[in-house]
Amino acid sequence: MVFVLGLALGVILASEVMNLASERVCPQKACVGEAEVVPISDRGYFPAVHKALQEAKNSIHIAAFELKYYPNNTGSNENLIVEDIISASRRGLDVRIVVDEYSQANNAYDYLRASGVNIKQDKKDVTTHAKLVVIDGRVVILGSTNFSYFALERNNEVDVLIASERVAAYFNDYFESLWKQE
């Protein structure tokens, strides 16, 4: 799954490079065609995702392997992301999440569901190992980071934020295919 997503992203980015008529300079960003690509590593993930979730206007679609909530650690980065998701749902955004069926890895599942968030588990015969966020059909965040303590606060992780309607459409279609699976 990770290889397929990586390959798909590579094909999309390579296509953007081929269509690039003129190069633009983007400080600390790589501009590829109409896509703005922002590399994220380690502790940079939380502030990028936290801000993107808070600024979402229409939709948040997430596919995640691990989605954690720690009731005894209310100020943790993981809990703040879960609260951002709940807040967006309460603001009336189209918030939908697909998580891996392995319930121990997704202890936020019941909390989000009880809070009114549209969340479902994948099919029992597959593993959703994706770490994908699509916001407003324009912003995609993907990479290696799970929504867990170790991933957000301890691990070495790499991700990318891509601002591109074209790339977002591709990954939103992918998300929709996961959402429709029974």
Confidence of residue 104 (pLDDT cuts 50, 70, 90): low
**What pLDDT, on the 0 to 100 scale, is given for residue 103?**
52
> Model-level pTM?
0.81
> Which residues is 97 bridged to in the sheet?
62, 119
Q: Region 64-70: what's the mean pLDDT?
A: 92
Assess contact for 22 and 32: CB atoms under 8 A: no
Was domain 2-180 assigned CATH 3.40.30.10? no
- The angle, 0 to 180 degrees and rounded to 10, between the axes of the packed helices 2-19 and 165-180 is 150
pLDDT digits (tens, 9 = 90+) for 131-169: 999 999 999 999 999 999 999 999 999 999 999 999 999
**What pLDDT, on the 0 to 100 scale, is given for residue 92?**
98
What is the residue type of 31?
Answer: C
